[in-house]
Amino acid sequence: MEQSEFERMAHHWRQRAYETGVAFGVTADEAEDIAQDTLLKLWAMRHELERYRSVESLAVVVARNLTIDLHRNRRTVRLDDAHNHLSIADKMADSDIISREEERWLSQRLSQLPPRQHTVLVMRQVEHRSYEEIASLLGITSSSAKVLLSRARKWLLEQCRLHDE
């Protein structure tokens, strides 16, 4: 088979290989990989493809075999390990809940800061602006920006100490 003919048919074969992977229960990304690998195998066999009655069927068989190999190579979880995996998932869920609560707590404290301190804190900590840039934007001196930031940090630190008690 010539390169131009292969290129003309490759899109169709690739689609069939992708569909085969999905039909056998792999993710979309894995199906993409299977489709690409199928085309690579067909390309390597391009000089022998005329002897096959249906190259499309060959593409499906290659994709099916690649999918089966993928499933075989996946790490299996023993049943006695399944409990450990569940507890890890539970711990992750608990961790997410704690993180959201901490974010909510911090947002509430930040909203209690005086507006100027809040602005300076955000500009310095979130936007990573220099003191000179903050001073220029707010129409204050850079030493005033440093003092405002220091007061905001000190107040937040005190709130954290009170929260931990």
pLDDT in tens, 6-32: 888 889 999 999 999 999 888 999 999
Between CA 125 and CA 146 the distance in angstroms is 12
Instruction: Report yes or no: 58 and 72 within 8 Å, Cβ to Cβ.
Output: no
Instruction: Report yes or no: 68 and 25 within 8 Å, Cβ to Cβ.
Output: no
Query: Are 59 and 117 found together in one domain?
Result: no
Residue 87 forms part of a structural domain: no
Residue 80 forms part of a structural domain: no
Query: Are 65 and 8 found together in one domain?
Result: yes
Prediction pTM value: 0.46
**Domain count of the chain?**
2
Q: Which of 73, 90, 114 is the last residue of a domain?
A: 73
Residue 93 forms part of a structural domain: no
Residue-wise pLDDT tens digits, 52-99: 889 999 999 999 999 998 888 876 655 555 555 556 666 667 777 878
Query: Are 12 and 66 found together in one domain?
Result: yes
- The domain of 29 spans 3-73
